Chains A and B, each alone.
Chain A
């Protein structure tokens, strides 16, 4: 059995039951974040999809792939968003190479 059960996503709201105040505050905040603002709800959905992948959250990937489809986002747009996330994730690893180079130069330069 997998640790992740797709059906658990539907129970996300239940976290409020064990801490009503914090749970309610979180979901109020969450709902507000994804409302139309300086960015469109569609743009935010694509950001969420990219972050869902960098966080490797199966629930979020499930939810925001569906959300993107509902907003008429094409698969090409979804894949580009994921590459943007992946590039940052890859870059974040690689940029630490400078630390390694600094260290080598200091120890063995």
Chain B
């Protein structure tokens, strides 16, 4: 792969590396002077405040912020310099929860989850727990980053892992602009290897889904139309198959927030999100059926709240004291970044949330 796209906010010593600073920006300015309603006020208009969880369906575990890529808009601020990695001890606590949870989906994310030294051991153990849908969010390039990862497609297949991978566009230019030089070619190669193992092929049970998020300060288009365009282009140009495309809105946090401010798009983007607010999306927003677990075992309403260091509003704060019944009886912690999940057809790690 070519040179990295950028550096993490942490590495740059940016003040936006501090979650408090991000939350301050999201609460000040246009939201403080009432030009735009706060998210709490907005959902209160339709009697949806406070936001409450429904049945827990997804356990999302972030096994570390280390990544081989430094994408321009990463909400994790991930990169090779990040040292936050889940220990085996915390993984064992997670396994205990996975064996007993009522959730039907286990979702491993990062950083690049494969870079955690205990990743394979964890997948082997977790796959024995009988979770219906076992997702690993793989950035694709990791599969071609180093010889020690070349066999990942076989490893995924062996454990019937559902692979979900980021792919910003079907063209080289737009992909490399967001994710770094050479990312497109490596991603294509990785997708072809996954296809070779049966991943993403029509009628195959080996699930391969792609995640699309916009390359700039605009919202994603219609998910079904984008999926059609992606499928046509990837098949015609490279013979690649995949199952579904998830269109995800960029949330105004971390490196995307930094980009919005630096490019003087912040206010316009927040207007876009608020203008596109859809109360129907609030009903199914992912924090209502997900618990997010951080690399050090703390619990959050979603991966975004994890990055903003907004823990669950429950007396159960850590995986070591996990109790699903008590956890489910909580109010979800919100701020203005939540508008990202309720714009248009809504947005979640599983794509749109309305029909």
The residues of A with any CB-CB pair to B shorter than 8 Å are 10, 36, 40-42, 66, 69-72, 74
List 17 additional contacts besides A69-B216, A74-B173; criterion CB under 8 Å: A10-B271, A41-B222, A41-B225, A66-B218, A70-B214, A70-B218, A70-B219, A70-B220, A71-B221, A71-B222, A71-B225, A72-B169, A72-B170, A72-B212, A72-B221, A72-B226, A74-B174
**Which residues in A have their C-beta under 8 angstroms from that of B44?**
none
Q: 13 pairs across A/B with beta carbons < 8 Å?
A: A10-B271, A40-B225, A41-B222, A69-B216, A69-B218, A70-B214, A70-B218, A70-B221, A71-B221, A71-B225, A72-B212, A72-B226, A72-B229
Counting CB contacts under 8 A, is B204 at the interface?
no
State how many angstroms separate the Cβ of A77 from the closest Cβ of chain B: 10
**Which residues in B have their C-beta under 8 angstroms from that of A66?**
218
Q: Is the interface of B mostly helix, strand, loop or mixed?
A: loop
**Which residues in A have their C-beta under 8 angstroms from that of B226?**
71-72
Q: How far is the CA of A70 from the CA of B169 in the complex (A)?
A: 11
Counting residue pairs across A and B whose Cβ atoms lie within 8 Å, the total is: 34
A74 contacts B225, C-beta separation under 8 Å: no
By the criterion of a CB under 8 Å from any partner CB, how many residues of chain B are at the interface? 20
- Chain B, 16-43, CB within 8 A of any chain A CB: none
A69 contacts B214, C-beta separation under 8 Å: yes
**Which residues in B have their C-beta under 8 angstroms from that of A41?**
222, 225
Q: How far is the CA of A66 from the CA of B215 in the complex (A)?
A: 12
Interface digits, B161-176 against A, CB 8 Å rule (1 contact, 0 not)? 0000000011101100
Q: How far is the CA of A42 from the CA of B230 in the complex (A)?
A: 13
Counting CB contacts under 8 A, is B124 at the interface?
no
Q: How far is the CA of A66 from the CA of B214 in the complex (A)?
A: 11
**Which residues in B have their C-beta under 8 angstroms from that of A71?**
221-222, 225-226, 229
Counting CB contacts under 8 A, is B125 at the interface?
no
Q: How far is the CA of A10 from the CA of B22 in the complex (A)?
A: 26
Counting CB contacts under 8 A, is B321 at the interface?
no
State how many angstroms separate the Cβ of A3 from the closest Cβ of chain B: 20
Most buried by B among A36, A66, A70: A70
Shortest Cβ distance from A45 into B: residue: B221
Counting CB contacts under 8 A, is B15 at the interface?
no
A42 contacts B225, C-beta separation under 8 Å: yes
Q: How far is the CA of A41 from the CA of B271 in the complex (A)?
A: 24
State how many angstroms separate the Cβ of B172 from the closest Cβ of chain A: 10
Interface digits, B207-248 against A, CB 8 Å rule (1 contact, 0 not)? 000001011101111100110011000000000000000000
State how many angstroms separate the Cβ of A52 from the closest Cβ of chain B: 16
A42 contacts B229, C-beta separation under 8 Å: yes
State how many angstroms separate the Cβ of A89 from the closest Cβ of chain B: 27
State how many angstroms separate the Cβ of B210 from the closest Cβ of chain A: 13
**Which residues in A have their C-beta under 8 angstroms from that of B81?**
none
**Which residues in A have their C-beta under 8 angstroms from that of B92?**
none
**Which residues in B have their C-beta under 8 angstroms from that of A42?**
225, 229
State how many angstroms separate the Cβ of A71 from the closest Cβ of chain B: 4
State how many angstroms separate the Cβ of A14 from the closest Cβ of chain B: 13
State how many angstroms separate the Cβ of B199 from the closest Cβ of chain A: 23
Q: How far is the CA of A70 from the CA of B170 in the complex (A)?
A: 14
**Which residues in A have their C-beta under 8 angstroms from that of B170?**
72
State how many angstroms separate the Cβ of B351 from the closest Cβ of chain A: 15
Most buried by A among B170, B171, B221, B275: B221
B171 contacts A74, C-beta separation under 8 Å: yes
**Which residues in B have their C-beta under 8 angstroms from that of A69?**
214-216, 218
**Of B169, B173, B221, B275, which is within 8 A of A10 by CB?**
B275
